[in-house]
Amino acid sequence: MSDTDTRDPTSLRTPIVAVLGHVDHGKTSLLDKIRGSAVIEGEAGAITQHIGATAVPLDIISSIAGDLVDPEDFDLPGLLFIDTPGHHSFTTLRSRGGALADIAILVVDVNDGFQPQTLEALDILKRSQTPFIVAANKIDTVPGWNANEDEPINDTYESQSERVRQRLDEELYEIIGNLSDEGFSADLYWRVQNFQRNIGVVPVSAMTGEGVPDLLTVMMGLSQRYMKEEMEIDVAGPGVGTVLEVKEEKGFGTTVDTVLYDGTIRADDKIVVGGQNEPIVTDVRALLQPRPLAEIRTESRFEKVDEVGAAAGIKIAAPDLADAMAGAPVRVVRDRDLDEVIEEVQAELADIAVDTAEEGVVVKADTLGSLEAMADALGEAEVPIVRAEVGDVAPRDVSVASTADDPKQKAILGFNVDTLDDAEQRAEIEDVTIFTDEVIYQLIEGYEEYVEEIEQAQQ
Ligand code: GDP
């Protein structure tokens, strides 16, 4: 920091929030509703544009929440919602020594209850020790459920809303039991309003917006109460982040959409990014934020910025990013020893690395976090892995799978990834079977059925 810099060297950053849940339970709608409410409440430009995230400042949360949030009571600046919906963001959650997101909202459709991806989300929250709140969504579809009452459920005992609530409660109770066994600390369970349970449940409707102020109030209040110390950062320190997505961008080549959770990144920084084979050392070419919709001209959707401070979503353009992986760490080298930073990134990658065997199936996944989740699940199913990588199913994966002696191992399991056309053609020729799915356990079930068929044919 220069002598003329008068900023407080430490400051409280915005807590990072991830929204997870089963497909179609309303993650995107909830994020849209939060963003929409924020835009309605805020002056034009009050919402900072981000890549892969939406920042909702405290004053806007306060206007949405009305009397519930008095800005005087808070010193955290607001909430940053990671808005890559679906599996994508939550399987990236994993990062060394903790989680990418500070808090999560687990969206559960009240009519549908806990589904495979809800359970997977819970599993990842549990492993990354991320505290979370359940948003019981779509309450507008349940007669008699009014989230704005002091007693959210004020219907007769036999009513539909009561039955729905009871079922959620029972499902949660079971899960709390499981979580306790894993040694979660009591602070990670939050009592919310009327619910005398340890995990908070906030009834909401992403459609009507009912309950959204309560959800924001609860998130803000709990962050202030439980996370203040963790939010203390060195504002001018070298940035620390995680790659959300690796993307080709016209005019910029390969870029990494990154969530910065500590320090700052500047347009002239040297950075180290986790890559497929080894850490990538490169120089930032540009830091990009989205332009406001109204200002998009033909040349670029992006605006270049000189510096970004945590917490923020930012697109980094730099040479040599082709091998970067979603879920991998990003570190700014500024004022630090390059070798030390490389070692740190290596250690973090090694921490997530999957043990492979001499023989086994090929596993592909969209992020490091999901690769790890796949490896865990396959380990439990006692399926050996010969190669595990982040990325789409490519011809070279087929080559690896085709060398297996055991026909059961001539298989590729892809989680949340696509299969490249030439890989598909090659797989047909080489007699390799490719399985892809967006739910880990379905993917493994599909593979197990295939194994059974082979075993039966062999008998
Ligand atoms: P995602 O897959 O979890 O991101 O779910 P979406 O946000 O795409 O929602 C799936 C479907 O549920 C869409 O048709 C939404 O319009 C609908 N939906 C989401 N939230 C609500 C809600 O609160 N009430 C009702 N009635 N429908 C909702």
pLDDT for 157 equals 40
Band (149; pLDDT cuts 50, 70, 90): very low
Q: What is the DSSP letter of 424?
A: H
If one compares 413 and 303, the residue with the highest pLDDT of the two is: 413
pLDDT for 99 equals 62
Q: End-to-end CA distance of the chain, in Å? A: 72
Does any ligand 1 atom lie closer than 6 A to the CB of residue 24? Answer: yes
- Report CA(200)–ligand 1 centroid distance (Å): 21
Does any ligand 1 atom lie closer than 6 A to the CB of residue 28? Answer: yes
- Report CA(67)–ligand 1 centroid distance (Å): 28
Report yes or no: 314 and 287 within 8 Å, Cβ to Cβ: yes
For residue 459, is pLDDT > 70? yes
Q: Angle at the Cα of 245 (from 76 to 130), degrees rounded to 5?
A: 45
> Any idea which of 190-204, 211-225, 289-303 has the lowest mean pLDDT?
190-204
Question: Which of 29, 37, 81, 84 best tests ligand 1's pocket when mutated (most atoms within 8 Å of CB)?
Answer: 29
For residue 279, is pLDDT > 80? yes
Report yes or no: 328 and 242 within 8 Å, Cβ to Cβ: yes
H helix count then E strand count, the chain: 11, 24
Does any ligand 1 atom lie closer than 6 A to the CB of residue 255? Answer: no
Please name the amino acid found at residue 113: G
Does any ligand 1 atom lie closer than 6 A to the CB of residue 84? Answer: no
Please give the average per-residue pLDDT across 256-273, as a whole number: 95
Band (350; pLDDT cuts 50, 70, 90): confident
CA distance readout (Å), 214 to 193, 202, 203, 391 = 10, 7, 9, 39
Q: DSSP assignment of 248-272, as one string?
A: EETTTEEEEEEEEEESEEETT-EEE
Written as six digits, the tokens of 198 are: 């340890």
Q: DSSP assignment of 50-82, as one string?
A: -SSEEEEEHHHHHHHHGGG--GGG--S-EEEEE
Please name the amino acid found at residue 246: V
Band (152; pLDDT cuts 50, 70, 90): very low
Does any ligand 1 atom lie closer than 6 A to the CB of residue 168? Answer: no
For residue 175, is pLDDT > 80? no
Q: What is the pTM of this model?
A: 0.82
Does any ligand 1 atom lie closer than 6 A to the CB of residue 32? Answer: no
Residue nearest to atom 14 of ligand 1 (CA): 24
Question: Which of 24, 27, 107, 115 best tests ligand 1's pocket when mutated (most atoms within 8 Å of CB)?
Answer: 24
Hey, CA dihedral for 331, 337, 342, 343, is it positive or negative?
A: negative
Is residue 243 packed enough to be buried (19+ CB in 10 Å), middle (13-18) or exposed (0-12)?
buried
Does any ligand 1 atom lie closer than 6 A to the CB of residue 25? Answer: yes
CA pair distance 406, 303, nearest whole angstrom = 53
As for the ipTM of the complex, it is: 0.99
The atom number, within ligand 1, closest to the CA of 31 reads: 7
Residue nearest to atom 25 of ligand 1 (CA): 138
- Report CA(13)–ligand 1 centroid distance (Å): 31
- Report CA(26)–ligand 1 centroid distance (Å): 4
The atom number, within ligand 1, closest to the CA of 107 reads: 3
Q: Name the pairing type of β-strands 433-437 and 411-415.
A: parallel
Does any ligand 1 atom lie closer than 6 A to the CB of residue 138? Answer: yes
The atom number, within ligand 1, closest to the CA of 29 reads: 7
Please give the average per-residue pLDDT across 371-392, as a whole number: 90
Q: What is the DSSP letter of 196?
A: -
For residue 378, is pLDDT > 90? yes
Please give the average per-residue pLDDT across 414-421, as a whole number: 94
- Report CA(387)–ligand 1 centroid distance (Å): 37
For residue 55, the cross-strand partners are 80
Of these ranges, 130-134, 191-195, 412-416, the one predicted with the greatest mean pLDDT is: 412-416
Report yes or no: 157 and 126 within 8 Å, Cβ to Cβ: no
Band (423; pLDDT cuts 50, 70, 90): very high
Band (441; pLDDT cuts 50, 70, 90): confident
Q: Which of 56, 50, 49 is nearest to 74 (CA)?
A: 56
Report yes or no: 198 and 118 within 8 Å, Cβ to Cβ: no
- Report CA(433)–ligand 1 centroid distance (Å): 34
pLDDT mean across residues, the chain: 82
For residue 288, is pLDDT > 60? yes
Residue nearest to atom 24 of ligand 1 (CA): 138
CA pair distance 279, 14, nearest whole angstrom = 28
